Structure 1
Amino acid sequence: MQMSRRIAAFLLGLAAFMVFEWINLAFNLADGHDTAFYVVHGILIAVNVVLGLVLGVIGWRGLRAGAAAPERVRESVREG
């Protein structure tokens, strides 16, 4: 099953937002909290950055597959 270009672009945008937002949060955490606060937020940041990167890879592959699809159609029309 092939992903539409609109969905692939949405996934890329969502991935960029997630990575930017969570890295921004990491830099903006204020001092003065307990160690557990930083451990929990560090885990949340790491998991969400990884999820953002995974979504970005899926979106990128979807865009590349969508760009290659018209060429495959043209080739099959020429052969057929």
Structure 2
Amino acid sequence: MDMTRRVSIFLVALAVLTIFEWINLGFNLADGHETSFYVVHGVLIAVNIILGLALGAVGVRGWMKGRA
């Protein structure tokens, strides 16, 4: 499947926003919650950062393919 440069840039921008947002959430978690709260949010943060990295990889790959 071919991807336009516009779609590639959108995917990379979305990946950067997603990664930034979830890392920011990780730093902003307040103290005083149960351990399960931190475990659940830690898993959510990890999964969403991995998805953001995958999305960025697809966007960069599409962008590089469009340049060739």
TM-score range, shorter chain: over 0.9
Does 2:35 match 1:32? Answer: no
Residue 46 (structure 2) aligns with: 46
What is the match of residue 19 of structure 1? Answer: 19
Offset at residue 17 of structure 1 (A)? 0.3
TM-score normalised to structure 1 length = 0.84
**What is the identity, as a one-letter code, of the residue corresponding to 1:44?**
L
Q: Secondary structure at the match of 1:31?
A: coil
Question: Which residues of structure 2 form unaligned runs of 5+?
Answer: none
User: Alignment partner of 1:30: what SS?
Assistant: coil
- 1:23-77 CA distances to partner (integer Å, 9 max, x unpaired)? 0000010000000000000000000000000000000000000111xxxxxxxxx
How large is the RMSD of aligned CA atoms in angstroms?
A: 0.4
Distance 2:21 2:28 in 1: 10
The count of corresponding residues between Structure 1 and Structure 2 is 68
What corresponds to 1:78 in structure 2? none
Runs of 4+ in 1 over 4 A off after TM superposition: none
Question: TM-score, with normalisation over the residues of structure 2?
Answer: 0.98
The amino acid of 1:25's aligned partner reads L
Deviation at 1:22, TM superposition (A): 0.2
